[in-house]
Chain A
Amino acid sequence: MGKENLVSKNPLRALGLGKEDLADGRRVGLVMARAGLGKTAILVQIAMNSMLHDNKVLHVAIGEGVDKTRTWYEDILALMNQEEAIEDFQQVVDGIMKNRMIMTFKENSFSPATLEERMEDLSQQGIFKADCLVIDGFDFTADDSASSVGELKNFMEKNNLKMIWFSAVSHRGDDRVSVNGVPAPCHSFDDVFDTVLLISPDESHISLKILKCSKACSVDAGKALLLDPATMLIKKA
């Protein structure tokens, strides 16, 4: 059982966006949930799918430290190993971690321009050229958030990035939703996202609802994947 087992229950795979997604064009994705429901866990799994395909992933954590972000990866890998018993686990982990870099910012020091500057610096020096970007903790309540996402989308196209995934917090008291069912604060500009997933707790389980999906998705919008609340990994059917 090699590294392929690490992604057998990956949300991207389940959506049919696994391998194909990375090869065919650019995608902007969004994971939404109320605070504390596991957005980072899903983002980390999405990042890991890309890393396993030898894509370089830059994980941008806004308002979190490097250690905490790193721990997310370690914890999720350990859980996957527990479930699947990966052969040469440490070697597999060492191999895929070369494809990841974490960049953290304080809330007030992040801007798309700073991120672009940092990424160009890394790329020009031949240190790390990201193929995919994961941005956790982006403030979608800011007035200029739609234009910031637009800026990042342009940057993605200019630099040939294969995908960007964001996380966003939705609030219980805010009932606004878009036609596609995307909750506030992203309801008014959900057209910038190709895929939108919503983590939704029900009485007995947590599901990952597909609110919007790109053409490449093998699952239709409106369907949901069941998550194991203890691990946030997809439950096997």
Chain B
Amino acid sequence: MSVDLSKVRNIGISAHIDSGKTTLTERILFFTDRIHAIHDVRGKDGVGAKMDSMELERERGITIQSAATYCTWKDTNINIIDTPGHVDFTVEVERALRVLDGAVLILCSVGGVQSQSITVNRQMDRYNVPRISFINKCDRTGAAPERVTEQLREKLGLNAHMLQLPIGLESALEGVVDLVAMEALYFDGENGENVRVEEIPDDLKDLAEEKREELLDAVSMFSDELMEAMLEETEITTEVVREAVRAGTLALEFSPVFIGSAYKNKAVQPLLDAVQYYLPCPTDVENIGLDLEKDEEEFAVSNDDEDPLIMLAFKLEDGRYGQLTYVRTYQGRLNKGDTVFNTRTGKKVKVGRLVRMHSDEMEEIDSCGSGDIVALFGVDCASGDTFTDGKLSCSMSSMHIPEPVISLAIIPKDNKAQINMSKALNRFTKEDPTFKTFVDHETSETIISGMGELHLEVYVERMKREYGAEVDVGAPQVAYRETITQRAEFNYIHKKQTGGSGQFGRVAGYMEPLEEGEYEFEDKIVGGAIPREFISSCDKGFQKSLAKGTLCGSPVTGVRCVINDGAFHAVDSSDVAFQLASVGAFKEGYMKAKPTIMEPIMKVAVEGPSEFQGAVMGSINQRRGMIIGTTEEGTYTVVEAEVPLSEMFGYSTSLRSLTQGKAEFTMEFASFKPVPKSVSEELIKKFQDERKEK
């Protein structure tokens, strides 16, 4: 079944905490017949909203899981994809923003543009996502949609203009004036389901005319037809204005603003109309793929059904029938029964069942085309995997996954928790490539590692809530690395003669710093000084040594090992002997190569009122941070800095007290850099003390 792509909208809904995202989504699902009764977030019926966010999401004020919901408004199929706002979830954010074509930014009419709105808006800017804004909670005391629109211009730099005027505000909110169609809209019925169209009230007529003029001035540059009509003073039709608004929105040069109150069921339907009118369909936007044969060179996907297939798995869900994988198709067609290739694993997978989500039901389909979001059954893959039909080698998300920078030990409280924990970890590592887990053989503890404190806290919490796995958590540990800073030679003989067959192997060569990459091995042996069959043993020996450096026990990276000489014994040389000889050679060379400890450095952005700029910079300075720059935007300042992760623990508390809770920060991994001498000495001493204790 082919779908008219102009009737498809893949959108994201983003908001600051408590802007009413859950309530709005609930109303959208109700008005699109996806659900048949409205349950409030904190309603007396105790049911809770359909899309009620996890308690943890509410506590933290962020979206953690990227969820997908489907509804149909009039003749348009709307896929709603949640976008996590926190940078700890880098990969998930990237993936969600790749899948959606447009977005609705929800703002509170009282709180206005808040820190999370700024973060989300910045991410959308980065991915060129056209967006419309909805100023919610206009029924609240202190509601000021015009002020919020002004903030959208000032703080977010959007060319924001209201397309509606409120009829009454705060408790007197009755409806809205549509400045495009120039009519008043009221929302009658128990749940505001009946939209009543009336003439604009007399007391608002002049203001509406004035605001419409301003709107037309702002959008006329996006439509020659509108410009001509304005110059010639001929009739301006609703369609012409809509086309101009749409053109400006798609070009990211105009951002329409809508108002209402989801809680009071006011003006949700016009917002759905706006999604249909102004946000892009899949063919309106350019999506970028990465060519794996050309070092991830970017190319625009075609959106053409006739071209070879490219699709991205962006969400996995455990269901009754096994794993349900949500995919977005970027070009080509997928038919039931087709075999697709996972470009990450290189494995072939047969697509047995293909479904499209329609309102509250799942529809079995035979094929899907470009721009579609559908779900596959029984396909084993990880979130973020790209599938093709085998004709292309490309990826829709970067294959370069950042290394974890922080780790935690987790200990299950009982046997049941142990089993559930394993299930949870298995699932999470599949979903999120930046989340890793392993067992430390020395302590037998399970270690989880990821991109930040919050990242790991969220997974521990999800383990508890979704899998009932209660675990004790150790203190967060920074993932240090060791590396060498200069070339050093080694020449090591491993010799053991203790009865039975002995062990002999000599390995000589050098190690040197590797600019890019973690490890390289080169064999420059001539004349058979080390027989062919033992070359890989040397490589294995070096790789074993990389797992734990001798300075502080952290993994060693950025090393190139070259062997150019050696010796063997006809009887006593073996795989094990050469592995051990290489371990010895590595140790010998390592200490001569001036090893150093590297720590993760985070890119930190602190946003807050300018009056606290000095205090914020002082706090960064105290934490060994290097301030890169400051951006002053009116009364708001963003301080950008690079700070060692080890100094960032507890920063949120300290920042809150420094700035009366008015500043917030985001942080993402930037690079590994050598630690200062004092820190290095401390880490080495700690490692040595721990070894002695064992």
**Which A residues fall within an 8 A CB radius of B?**
59, 65-66, 69-70, 94, 97-98, 101-106, 109-110, 114, 118, 121-122, 125-128
Contact = CB atoms under 8 A, between A and B. Distances in A.
A101 B628 contact: yes
A125 B619 CA distance: 10
Interface stretch (B17-25, B161-169, B279-287, B631-639): B631-639
A118 B614 CA distance: 8
A89 B638 CA distance: 30
Interface in B580-621: 613-614, 617-618, 621
Contact of B633 (A106, A121, A126, A128): A106
Closest A-B pairs by Cβ, 8 of them: A102-B629, A66-B629, A121-B614, A104-B631, A127-B621, A125-B618, A105-B632, A103-B630
A101 B621 contact: no
Contacts of A118: 613, 630, 632
A114 B614 contact: no
A125 B620 CA distance: 11
Contacts of A104: 629-632
Contacts of A105: 631-632
A59 B631 CA distance: 12
B633 A109 contact: yes
Contact of A127 (B617, B628, B631, B673): B617
A122 B632 CA distance: 15
Contacts of B627: 101, 127-128
A34 B621 CA distance: 39
Given A66-B631, A70-B629, A101-B629, A121 B621 contact: no
Nearest to A65: B631
Nearest to A128: B627
A106 B614 contact: no
Given A102-B628, A125-B614, A125-B621, A94 B633 contact: no
Count chain B CB atoms within 10 A of each CB in A104, A110, A114 and give the residue with the most.
A104
Contacts of A97: 626
Contacts of B617: 121-122, 125, 127
Interface of B: 613-614, 617-618, 621, 626-634, 638, 640, 673
Given A66-B629, A125-B618, 19 more contacts: A66-B628, A66-B631, A66-B638, A70-B628, A94-B673, A97-B626, A98-B626, A104-B630, A104-B631, A104-B632, A106-B632, A106-B633, A109-B632, A109-B633, A109-B634, A122-B617, A127-B618, A127-B627, A128-B627
Given A125-B618, A125-B621, A69 B613 contact: no
B523 to A, nearest CB: 28
Contacts of B634: 106, 109
Contacts of A70: 628-629
Per DSSP, chain B at the interface is strand
A21 to B, nearest CB: 25
A82 B558 CA distance: 22
A114 B632 contact: yes
B472 to A, nearest CB: 40
24 contacts: A66-B630, A66-B638, A66-B640, A69-B629, A70-B629, A98-B626, A101-B627, A101-B628, A101-B630, A102-B629, A104-B630, A106-B634, A109-B633, A109-B634, A110-B632, A114-B632, A118-B613, A121-B614, A122-B617, A125-B617, A125-B618, A125-B621, A127-B618, A127-B621
A100 B472 CA distance: 44
Contacts of A59: 629
A70 B670 CA distance: 14
Nearest to B627: A101
Contacts of B628: 66, 70, 101-102
B670 to A, nearest CB: 12
Contacts of B621: 125-127
B425 to A, nearest CB: 36
Nearest to A64: B631
B125 to A, nearest CB: 10
A60 B363 CA distance: 58
Given A65-B631, A101-B627, A101-B628, A121 B640 contact: no
A64 to B, nearest CB: 9
Nearest to A104: B631
A69 B673 CA distance: 22
Among A70, A125, A127, the most chain B Cβ lie within 10 Å of the Cβ of A127
A101 B626 CA distance: 9
Nearest to A120: B614
Nearest to A89: B515
A41 to B, nearest CB: 18
Residue from A69, A114, A118, A126 whose CB has the most chain B CB atoms within 10 Å = A118
Contacts of B640: 66
A102 to B, nearest CB: 3
A70 B614 CA distance: 22
A127 B617 CA distance: 8
Contacts of A127: 617-618, 621, 627
A157 B164 CA distance: 54
A126 B620 CA distance: 12
Contacts of B633: 106, 109
A104 to B, nearest CB: 5
A106 B157 CA distance: 10
A201 to B, nearest CB: 30
Contacts of A66: 628-631, 638, 640
B238 to A, nearest CB: 36
A121 B612 CA distance: 11
A59 B613 CA distance: 17
Contacts of A121: 613-614, 617
A94 B676 CA distance: 13
Contacts of A98: 626
Nearest to B639: A66
Contacts of B631: 65-66, 104-105
Nearest to A127: B621
B609 to A, nearest CB: 13
A65 B157 CA distance: 12
A228 B58 CA distance: 56
A65 to B, nearest CB: 6
A102 B641 CA distance: 10
A103 B637 CA distance: 10
A228 B631 CA distance: 32
Contacts of B673: 94
A165 to B, nearest CB: 18
B672 to A, nearest CB: 11
A122 B628 CA distance: 13
Nearest to B617: A127
Nearest to A126: B621
A104 B636 CA distance: 12
Contact of A103 (B614, B618, B626, B629): B629
A110 B626 CA distance: 24
A70 B632 CA distance: 16
Contacts of B626: 97-98
Nearest to A66: B629
Contacts of A103: 629-630, 632
Contacts of A102: 628-630
Nearest to B637: A118
Nearest to B614: A121
A128 B634 CA distance: 23
